[in-house]
Amino acid sequence: MKTKRQYLLNALLMTAVALLMRTVTVSFNVYVSNRVGAEAMGLLSLVSSVYGFAVTLATSGIHLATVRTVAERLERSGGAENKRCLRACLSFAACFGTLATVLLFILARPIGEGLLRDVRTVRALRMLSLTLLPIALTSVLNGYFTAVRRAWKNALAQVTEQGVKITFTAYLLVIVAPKTVEGSMLAILMGGAVAESLSLVFNVILYLFDKRHFRHLEDEKIRAYSEKKINVAAIAMPVAISAYMRSGLLSIEHILIPRGLSAYGAGNSAALAAYGSLHSMALPVVLYPAAILSSFAALLIPEMTEQQSANNQVEIRYIAGRVYQMTLLFSIGVGGTMLFLSGELGKVLYDSQEVAHFIRTLAPLIPIMYLDTATDAMLKGLGQQVYSMNVNIIDALVSVICVAILVPHMGINGYLVTIYITEILNAALSVTRLLRVTGFRPRLLFLVVRPLLSVIGATSISRLLFTFFDMGLNATGAGLVLHISVTAILYFTLLYLTGGFGKKDAAWLLNSFLPMKKQQTIKKESC
Question: What local confidence, expressed as pLDDT, does residue 513 receive?
Answer: 47
For position 488, what pLDDT does the model report? 92
Lowest mean pLDDT among 120-129, 214-223, 326-335, 472-481: 214-223
Report the distance separating Cα 107 and Cα 109, nearest Å.
6
d(CA 90, CA 87): 5
Q: For residues 466 and 481, what is the distance between their CA atoms, to the nearest angstrom?
A: 13
Q: Report domain extents, the chain.
A: 2-217+228-442
Q: For 10, how many CA atoms within 13 A lie in the half-sphere containing its CB?
A: 23
Query: Half-sphere exposure of 319 toward its Cβ, with a 13 Å CA cutoff?
Result: 32
Whole-number pLDDT of residue 261: 81
Residues 6+ positions from 478 with CB-CB distance below 8 Å = none
Tell which wins on pLDDT, 15 or 323: 323
- Enter the DSSP assignment of 177: -
Quick one: which of 493, 511, 514 has its CA closest to 502?
493
Q: Per residue in 450-478, pLDDT tens?
A: 899 999 999 999 888 887 776 655 567 77
Of 115-129, 251-265, 302-316, the range with the lowest mean pLDDT is 302-316
∠179-184-190 over CA atoms, to 5°?
Answer: 135
Q: What is the pTM of this model?
A: 0.71
Q: How far apart are CA 442 and CA 268, in angstroms?
A: 48
What percent of the chain is predicted at pLDDT more than 90? 20
The answer to whether 162 touches 24, Cβ cutoff 8 Å, is yes
Q: Are the CB atoms for 396 and 368 separated by under 8 Å?
A: no
Quick: pLDDT tens for 69-115: 887 766 565 556 667 788 888 889 999 999 999 999 999 999 988 88
